[in-house]
Amino acid sequence: MNTLTIIQPDDWHLHVRTGAILNTVIAHTARQFKRAIIMPNLKPPVTSVELALNYRDEILQALPKDSEFEPLMTLYLTNQTTVDDVKKVAASDAIHAFKLYPAGATTNSDAGVNNVTAVYPILEAMQQHNVPLLIHGEVTDEDCDIFDRERVFIERYLTDIVKQFPALKIVLEHVTTEEAVQFVESASSNIAATITPQHLHYNRNAILVGGIRPHHYCLPILKREKHRLALVKAATSGNPKFFLGTDSAPHLTHLKENACGCAGCYSAHAAIELYAEVFEKENALDKLEAFASFYGADFYGLPRNKQTITLEKQNWTVPASYGESDIMITPLKANETLAWKLI
Ligand code: NCD
Ligand code: ZN
């Protein structure tokens, strides 16, 4: 197959930041995706409808002229979130979910929840008003090994959340383990998961073999090969519970190539191409369209897109960086050759 035309995809997990970084990255997403769920982990976090609408305006302003890209906003769940906030989100066409970050789990998550059961009344209201809960599923205990943090979160918190709120729509974001795949597969149809390109392409050796590779450091951290294989299987299986969410997370190059480098991989420059490569290797290119363009929209109760995009089997080399000298971002697969190109 030399070209592949699919309904335009959506990105169900995306970081675009603000200001100069936003201006540098947003066109990459808008050229391929119709919509994206925008993460609220700004500094300060997006915790109210008003802040989310302001942020949405800023994103719309940053878009290339004539772009039809639509940002789907989310609110950051904190210990201060109220039932009234939930009702406002339910009534808003622009805001689509709450994001739960365990406090300290990842980039800009200090304002997150430090006692999950304390927000149960809010989850109750979300269930009642049909507002999805998006979860960064990792525990933050210092004594929990970083490679076990997702599995332990599922055992310790997610199992109970699902039991207490059986009708709550939940997306376990950026799943990275066999255990997470199994949990989602065996849960009811209102539990789904996003899968990133980096977790499909790489196992943990990519961070550590031959030197430390800060551009492969993201959270949840890359896991062993058996987990990557479980993710590839889930993504290419045609199971509607698994859909595309890049978790593209731009950080300035010098802050990643640092004694304490920050977490996040930038993939928006080549997201659909990166997924296509994985699906092709599995002989599952026929499953890419539903994973990228149908299942997420269906889960969120939004219409499927109508336009199409076309990918061509054509080698191209990813640039070493994007942006200008003071806003330099190193993309995933920098200086490497990709097999598919969006045309
Ligand atoms: C994300 C970021 O940089 O905002 N980083 C990451 O490693 N994935 C936050 C997140 O989704 O955890
Ligand atoms: Zn993220």
For residue 278, what are the contacts with CB-CB under 8 A and spacing of at least 6?
A: 197, 200, 201, 232, 235, 236
> Ligand 1 site: residues with CB under 6 angstroms?
15, 41, 106-107, 136, 218-219, 247, 249, 263-264
Give the count of alpha carbons within 13 A of 4, CB side only: 25
* Predicted pLDDT of residue 213: 98
* Predicted pLDDT of residue 104: 87
* Predicted pLDDT of residue 105: 86
Q: Residues in the chain, how many?
A: 343
**Ligand 1 centroid from CA 265, angstroms:** 8
**Ligand 1 centroid from CA 247, angstroms:** 7
Per-residue pLDDT of the chain (343 residues; tens, 9 = 90+): 799 999 999 999 999 999 999 999 999 999 999 999 999 999 999 999 999 999 999 999 999 999 999 999 999 999 999 999 999 999 999 999 999 999 988 888 888 998 999 999 999 999 999 999 999 999 999 999 999 999 999 999 999 999 999 999 999 999 999 999 999 999 999 999 999 999 999 999 999 999 999 999 999 999 999 999 999 999 999 999 999 999 999 999 999 999 999 999 999 999 999 999 999 999 999 999 999 999 999 999 999 999 999 999 999 999 999 999 899 999 999 999 999 999 9
Q: Which one is catalytic: 110, 247, 286, 298?
A: 247
* Predicted pLDDT of residue 80: 96
* Predicted pLDDT of residue 107: 83
* Mutation choice for ligand 1 from 12, 14, 15, CB with most ligand atoms inside 8 A: 15
Running DSSP on this structure, what letter comes out for residue 145? -
218 alpha carbon, closest ligand:
1
Neighbour count for residue 34 (Cβ, 10 Å)? 20
* Predicted pLDDT of residue 239: 98
Cα 192 to Cα 3, 242, 300, distances in angstroms? 30, 6, 10
* Predicted pLDDT of residue 170: 98
First to last CA, the chain: 15
Q: Across the chain, where does the E strand assignment appear? A: 3-7, 11-14, 35-38, 70-76, 95-100, 133-135, 170-172, 191-195, 242-244, 308-317, 337-342
What residues does 311 pair with on adjacent strands? 4, 342
**Ligand 1 centroid from CA 264, angstroms:** 5
Q: Note if 247 is an active site residue.
A: yes
